[in-house]
Amino acid sequence: MDNTRLADLLFPDVVQTPEELEEIYPARVLPEGAKVTRFAPSPTGFVHFGGLFPAMVGERLAHQSGGVFYLRIEDTDAKREVPGAAQALVRTLARYGVRFDEGVTLDGERGDYGPYKQSMRVGIYRVYAKFLVRKGLAYPCFSTEEEIEELRRFDKKEELKNTDWTQAEARRRAEQKEAREITFEEAKEHVEKGEPFVLRIRSAENSERKVRVTDLVRGNLELPENDEDFVLLKSDGVPTYHFAHAVDDHLMGTTHVVRGEEWLPSLSKHLQLFAYLGFKPPKYMHIAQIMKLDEKGGKKKLSKRDMGANLDDYSRMGYPAQSVCEYVMTLLNSNYEEWRSQNPDKPYTEFPFSVKKMSVSGCLFDFDKLEDVSRNVLSKMRAEEVYSLTLEWARENDPAFGEILAGNRDYACAILAIGRGGKKPRKDYARLSEVKDYMSFFYDELFEFRDGPDDRFSKEEIRKCLSDFLENYDEHADSAAWFEGVKRISAQNCFCPDVKVYKENPKAYKGHVGDVSSFIRLALTGRLNSPDLYTVLQILGKERALARVKRYIDAL
């Protein structure tokens, strides 16, 4: 058959050639070893937690090597597309510090290899589609969309029942063979009637042949050569993932394709396409799926319905993006935690990320571990940073608390600064949603009594100690002098000022200085556990502190 005539019949409007496109998208000029990677999500309005893995790997590989990392939006499946989802996606990823050099942005796109939205590239795919038809490597198939869908449904049913696979496969081959033999005249007749067609690849004759490929995570693989005439262009002219992948990653100069392992079974299709199109294939890395433990302790895929599958869940739950990224790094590279303990203060971007240290078998998602990681991350932040993250979280999730925080930044930062900065910083919260609970007693409008007075002591005794405290309070005393004051009050009230001495002869005293501190602590904070009392007093300020103690004495 005259393939050129067929190509012109099917794509009369396509005048550009692949060579012309190659000129528009020349090979990138980059330093030796620089990697070009991309994140290529479909805008379904849902960013899966697992999506962060290829995104972060792609980002690390590119930026660690002085290369380019770009965002391509794979929006060819209009049925699945949610309006505004691409922008929401860009926003979510930005929150996670996934920094793109090129691609779709909040208000358009940037970079020389665009458009970066597949729906805007239909003209480009058609150039290569025409090229493949001209070469005899693709052919039209005029079954209607419904017929194709019917076939697919039938295949599925067949698969499910698992009956007579061989027969189903034989039928598929027979149908494929028949479809392939379409003549120019037949095609012309269909086209003249205005019938739509899908474009299929003319695959290898048999799958006995093997193709060898090295996956950078999985090692050397041997795959059966593709013998399925899969669809390249759907009947509306929109490409399938396979076709768009080959064309886009070639033209955009991707050197490393980092994607989920669910694409591994399609790899031989992709290699065939690259070969047919005369493109050098990129290097591939198929990343293991995220698993979780099910009720019976078995591993199962983290599915869309699971808590924690949606990346936005984490912000709602109050995990700072930094914690989530830190956690993902521990899952991605087996030596990350060791590096972290040796480099506690460096950003994760300084970790020498290595593909070789990636797990092939799948990472297990574990909330307890995330909690642990997040507690550490939050304990190492500056108070101002925790403040702005908490404020941001509260504005979205607890506006009343947001108002309170925004009302006095310095006050909030002073509270959040307690126990920070040293070698062993306090680790009071793992989530931003827990910060309110931690700091609430500092605010009169949130103050409440969590604990009651110790019933080993009479109200009279407590009242007396607290009244002495009020009388002797010196707001200018330093921490040591302050504590001396508490000891004095203790001694005056028959509480031993030295705990050790008390323990030698407890009967000689009503209690010890620690008990007196607890009276003060409860009056000031409503709790028996709180950060260092002297610091709490300094932050509360004389007026508020003394008013609380007075009120407490009156209510006893």
Beta-carbon contacts of 387 under 8 Å, excluding residues fewer than 6 positions away, are 405, 409, 412, 413, 416
Out of 37, 42, 92, 235, name the contact with ligand GLU by CB under 6 A: 42
Helix (H) or strand (E) holding 132: helix 122-134
Give the sheet arrangement for strand 283-287, strand by strand. Answer: 219-224, 210-215, 283-287, 256-260
Give the up-direction half-sphere exposure of residue 234: CA atoms within 13 A in the CB hemisphere.
Answer: 17
User: Are the beta carbons of 393 and 312 closer than 8 angstroms?
Assistant: no
Q: Dihedral sign, CA of 375, 380, 383, 384? A: negative
Nearer to ligand GLU, 70 or 502 (CB): 70
510 touches ligand GLU (CB under 6 A) = no
Among 40, 132, 386, 394, the residue binding ligand GLU under the rule CB under 6 A is: 40
Tokens encoding 22 = 């190659």
Structure tokens at 81: 């597309």
Tell me the per-residue interface mask from 434 to 453 with ligand GLU, x by CB under 6 A, - otherwise: --------------------
The Cβ of residue 431 has, within 10 Å, a number of other Cβ atoms equal to: 19
Considering only 36-44, 153-161, 208-216, 491-499, which stretch makes contact with ligand GLU by CB under 6 A?
36-44
User: Does 287 interact with ligand GLU (rule: CB under 6 A)?
Assistant: no
Minimum distance from residue 371 beta carbon to ligand GLU (Å): 29
285 in contact with ligand GLU (CB under 6 A): no
Listed ranges 121-129, 228-236, 254-262, 536-544: which one lies at the site for ligand GLU (CB under 6 A) = 254-262
Q: Does 246 bind ligand GLU (CB under 6 A)?
A: no
Q: Which of 259, 292, 375, 521 forms a contact with ligand GLU (CB under 6 A)?
A: 259
Nearer to ligand GLU, 63 or 286 (CB): 286
Helix, strand, coil percent content, the chain, rounded in steps of 5: 55, 10, 35
CB of 259 to ligand GLU, least distance (A): 4
449-454 contact pairs (CB < 8 A, 24+): 449/522, 449/526, 450/526, 450/527, 450/528, 451/522, 451/526, 451/527, 451/528, 453/519, 453/522, 453/556, 454/515, 454/518
- Contact region with ligand GLU (CB under 6 A), list: 259-267, 310-318, 408-416, 496-504: 259-267
**Using rule CB under 6 A, residue 310 touches ligand GLU:** no
Q: Is 215 in the site for ligand GLU (CB under 6 A)?
A: no
Least gap, CB of 140 to ligand GLU (angstroms): 25
Query: Is residue 41 at the binding interface for ligand GLU, with CB under 6 A as the rule?
Result: yes
The structure tokens listed for 68 are 């380019």
* CB 54, min distance to ligand GLU, A: 6
Residue number with CB closer to ligand GLU (279 or 411): 279
Determine the Cα–Cα distance for residues 324 and 96; give it in Å rounded to an integer: 8
Q: Is 271 in the site for ligand GLU (CB under 6 A)?
A: no
Is 521 among the residues that bind ligand GLU (CB under 6 A)? Answer: no
SS3 state of residue 515: helix
Strand order in the sheet with 290-293: 299-301, 290-293, 363-364
**CB contact at 8 A, 496 and 490:** yes
Is the CB of 97 or the CB of 260 nearer to ligand GLU? 260
To ligand GLU, the closest distance from the beta carbon of 284 in angstroms equals 10
Which span (252-260, 382-390, 406-414, 437-445) binds ligand GLU, by CB under 6 A? 252-260
Q: Which stretch binds ligand GLU (CB under 6 A): 35-43, 96-104, 318-326, 339-347?
A: 35-43
**Contact between 253 and ligand GLU per CB under 6 A:** no
Cβ-contact 299, 364 below 8 angstroms = yes
Told to check if 245 binds ligand GLU by CB under 6 A, we report yes
Nearer to ligand GLU, 46 or 365 (CB): 46
Q: Which stretch binds ligand GLU (CB under 6 A): 85-93, 138-146, 256-264, 274-282?
A: 256-264
Residue found by looking up tokens 């799926």 in the block: 289
| Phi, psi (degrees; rounded to nearest 5) at 135 | -80, -5
Other C-beta atoms closer than 10 Å to the C-beta of 179 total 16
- Strand bridging mode 198-201 / 210-215: unpaired
Cβ-based nearer residue to ligand GLU, 283 or 420: 283
Q: Find residue 104's DSSP bridge partners.
A: 109
3, 14, 30, 74: which one contacts ligand GLU (CB under 6 A)? 74
Helices 459-472 and 479-492: crossing angle in degrees, nearest 10, is 140
Give the nearest distance from C-beta 260 to ligand GLU in angstroms. 6
How many residues touch ligand GLU (CB under 6 A)?
9
CB of 310 to ligand GLU, least distance (A): 15
Window of 255-263, 352-360, 508-516, 537-545 that interacts with ligand GLU by CB under 6 A: 255-263
User: Any idea what DSSP says for residue 238?
Assistant: P
Of the candidates 115, 103, 109, 135, the one whose C-alpha atom is nearest the C-alpha of residue 232 is 135
Contact stretch for ligand GLU (CB under 6 A) within 39-47, 153-161, 400-408, 476-484: 39-47
| Sheet of 198-201, strand order | 138-141, 198-201, 231-233
- Least separation in angstroms between CB 240 and ligand GLU: 11
Considering the rule CB under 6 A, would residue 517 count as an interface residue with ligand GLU?
no
Which residues of the shown chain bind ligand GLU in the complex (CB under 6 A)?
40-42, 74, 245, 257, 259-260, 263
